[in-house]
Amino acid sequence: MARERHCVHCHRDILDGRFAAPPRLLARWRSHLLSLNRVPSLEGTGRLLQRAWVRDFLLSPCDVRPALFATMPRLELTPAQADALAGWLVPEEAPPSHFTPAEAAAGRALYERLRCASCHRFTGADASSPPPEPATDSVALAPDLALARVRVQSGALADWLADPQRTKPDALMPRFPIGAPEARALAAFILTAPLAPTPPLRPHPRQPPLRRRVGWDEVSARVFRRTCWHCHGQPDYARGDGGPGNTGGFGFAGRGLDLSSFAGIAAGARGDDGRRRSVFSKGADGEPLLLATLLARQLEQTGRVVPGVRGMPLGLPALSPEDIQLVESWVLQGRPR
Amino acid sequence: MSRGVAIAAALVIFCPSAARPCSNVIYLDTDKAAQLVARAEKAVDQGQYQRALRILPGAPYRIEDAGLRRRGALTRAVAELRLGAVDDALDTFVALHRHKRDDPFLRTRIAEGLARLPSDTARGRKILDAKAREIFDDLEQRDLIVDAEGWAGLAQLRERLGDSDGSDRAASRCRAMARSPATCPAERSERLRAARVEVPRS
């Protein structure tokens, strides 16, 4: 049952052409399933990443891979659960390495020579940046190297750079013809290069409600149908189920929230007590719940978690201020049809 | 052309290909059924209730997928309710509600249906109205009346029960939500104006 209802099971079958649906539909669905092929494998996590970083990332995922559209969803984990998971993924860490300025200087030259910037961004460092889109799978999965010093075990990075596939057999990172001293120099540059302070991320300013009339057709086409519906669908229509936001998934209980139709959204969602409540009812901050979750996602992207509110869309970029303005205007106007 | 060939040709031409015969029932496959239900729902949305009933497959066709079958039954019942076949519609809503106890859409339709269900006696009317009001009040309190038609039903019920203020509140929500103002009862000021016009001058 768990396998049958699991998102990945059906989505994998769709990608592989095994799902029982007309070819026309399969082709359309395949074009939507980009993220599934670009989920970083967990193979070798324990040999490369820091346990504390993995724990914090599980509790409050940040954007590690700038060219990847989706990010790790913020799951329903307690700190103790995140601790346990991080401990399982990273059972032990390599002893830390210490680098000299000379190694870092040599590493900088190597960074340019090996063209690391073809895939990696290195925010804040005096180094080249990758070209803009279109991103291949390897570019999409390339992490921002500015995070390496908090994310990667310093004692493991040189080994990884020398032979990525030895640490992680399915790694997309190519193996460069470099020896151990060069790999160590590159690690020194990545872990110690001065980083210019980056301005703190702030959510986009909120737009005032629109004065013109906003109807369901417009808000549905631009927001609900385009973004929300995939996880908050109508189970009676879907060939799989209603998605994790309706029938449950990703460790979340089914909330019964259907954002695919006017009546569906008006029918609200089940709360923790199992009782339905309107997604337009006001939360502690006075915002309608629906709006609060959209705004919370903007804050999550700046590294702030709103207690008790899970930002939506889960694991995807926040809606633009204009789209949030559209939703807010529609709600304030009494949700016209 | 022999009669047999003509019948065979007619079957090929008129029978949907996306169907599978099984004893005296022809099962529609999921894609065909999904298209029909979606078209019928759109027709209901546009107020074309007769058209919705024509689109939805009737005997001997049957929708194979249980979820789609429920959607089809629900769409048919909404169309019937709007066309005045309240009894039939209510039967369907109540049957579907057994599987979805806290579904606001079904509860809104049940309340609407109870309020419109004909009753021969004043006592019967009172019981039906009380039950409809109980459901509507609960949904209103939780802001779970799902559409303008639901608010219109509540406004009309309250007006009948003498709660003009409550009726106006519901009518106002109806007007904010409705695609067309014709869905909602007129405001009290408009009703009074209309009543004054109708009073014959002595």
Domain boundaries, chain B: 1-83, 85-188
CA distance A291 to chain B (A): 16
A270: which chain B residues are within 8 Å (Cβ-Cβ)? 102
**Segment A268-283 mean pLDDT:** 93
3-state SS assignment for residue A171: coil
A1 — pLDDT class (breaks 50, 70, 90): very low
The helix-helix angle for A7-15 and A23-32 (nearest 10°) equals: 120
Please tell me which residue of chain A has the smallest CA distance to B18. Answer: A22
Nearest CB to A262: which of B30, B37, B147? B147
Q: What is the pTM of this model?
A: 0.84
Average pLDDT over residues A48-58: 96
Whether B16 has a pLDDT exceeding 50, the answer reads no
CA-CA distance, A242 to B41, in Å (whole number)? 18
| pLDDT value for A7 | 67
CB-CB under 8 Å, B148 with A337: yes
Which one, of B140, B127, B133, lies nearest residue B169 by Cα?
B140
Give the residue from chain B lying closest to A281, CA to CA. Answer: B143
- Which candidate from B37, B67, B173 shows the least CB-CB separation from A334? B173
pLDDT band at A295 (very low <50, low <70, confident <90, very high): very high
- What pLDDT score was predicted for residue B20? 61
The stretch B33-45 carries a mean pLDDT of 91
B101 CB neighbours in chain A (<8 A) are none
Give the nearest chain A residue to B148 (CA atoms). Answer: A337
For residue B9, pLDDT over 60 is answered with no
Out of B38, B71, B105, closest to residue A267 by CB: B105
Backbone angles phi, psi at B4, to 5 degrees: -60, -45
pLDDT at B13 exceeding the cut of 90: no
pLDDT at B202: 46
**CA–CA separation, B39 and B71 (whole Å):** 12
* Alpha carbon of B7: minimum distance to chain A alpha carbons (Å): 30
- Say whether pLDDT at B15 is over 50: no
Pick the more confident residue, A238 or B15: A238
The per-residue pLDDT for range A160-202, each reduced to its tens digit, is: 999 999 999 988 899 999 999 999 999 999 999 999 988 888 8
User: Residue A109 pLDDT > 60, yes or no?
Assistant: yes
Residues in A touching B112 (Cβ below 8 Å): none
3-state secondary structure of B72: helix
Contacts of B63 in chain A (CB under 8 A): none
Model pLDDT for residues A138-151, shown as the tens digit of each residue:
788 899 999 999 99
Radius of gyration, alpha carbons of chain A: 22
In this complex, is the C-beta atom of A335 within 8 Å of any C-beta atom belonging to chain B? Answer: yes
Nearest to A334 among B31, B144, B177 (CB): B177
Cα–Cα distance list, A122 to A105, A134, A162 (Å): 16, 18, 19
Q: Is A334 on the interface with B (CB under 8 A)?
A: yes
Q: At B28, phi and psi to the nearest 5?
A: -85, 140
A263–B147 CB contact, under 8 Å: yes
> What is the predicted pLDDT for the residue at B195?
64
- Report the pLDDT averaged over residues A107-130: 90
Tokens of B10: 């007619």
pLDDT at A6 over 70: no
Q: Contact B52/B37 with Cβ under 8 angstroms?
A: no
Q: Percent of chain B scored above 90 by pLDDT? A: 62
- Name the nearest CA neighbour of B70 among B50, B29, B100: B100
Q: Which residues pair with B62 in a beta bridge?
A: B27
Report which of residues B14 and B116 the model is more confident about. Answer: B116
E-strand stretches of A198-323: 269-270, 276-277
Preferred mutation among B32, B103, B151, B177 to probe A, highest tally of A CBs within 10 A: B177
- The confidence score (pLDDT) of residue B11 equals 42
**B148: chain A residues, CB-CB within 8 Å:** 337
Task: Report residue B80's pLDDT band, with 50, 70 and 90 as the boundaries.
Answer: very high
Of the partner residues B38, B144, B176, the one whose CB lies closest to the CB of residue A268: B144
- The question of ipTM being above 0.85 is answered as no
Q: What is the pLDDT of residue A251?
A: 83
> What is the pLDDT at residue B1?
46
Q: Does domain B85-188 have CATH number 1.10.3470?
A: no
Lowest mean pLDDT among A68-72, A87-91, A154-158: A68-72
Chain B nearest-CA distance from A203, in A, is: 30
- Rounded Cα distance, A315 and A252, in Å: 14
Q: Are A278 and A52 in contact (CB under 8 A)?
A: no
Probe site for chain A from B39, B74, B96, B179 (most A CB atoms < 10 A): B179
Higher pLDDT: B65 or B140? It is: B140
Q: Cβ A335–B177 below 8 Å, yes or no?
A: yes
Q: What is the pLDDT of residue B196?
A: 64
Give the pLDDT score at A250. Answer: 82
Q: Give every CB contact of residue A82 below 8 A, 6+ residues apart in sequence.
A: A55, A56, A58, A59
The answer to whether the beta carbons of residues A266 and B145 sit under 8 Å apart is: yes
Work out the average pLDDT over A312-321: 93
A132 band by pLDDT with thresholds 50, 70 and 90:
low
Q: What six digits make up the tokens of B19?
A: 């169907």
In this predicted structure, the answer to whether residue A222 has a pLDDT above a threshold of 90 is yes
A237·B30 Cβ contact <8 A: no
B contact set with A (CB within 8 A):
30-31, 34, 37-38, 67-68, 70-71, 102-105, 142-148, 173, 176-179
The residue of B68, B75, B101, B105 whose CB has the most chain A CBs within 10 angstroms, and thus the best one to mutate to test that interface, is B105
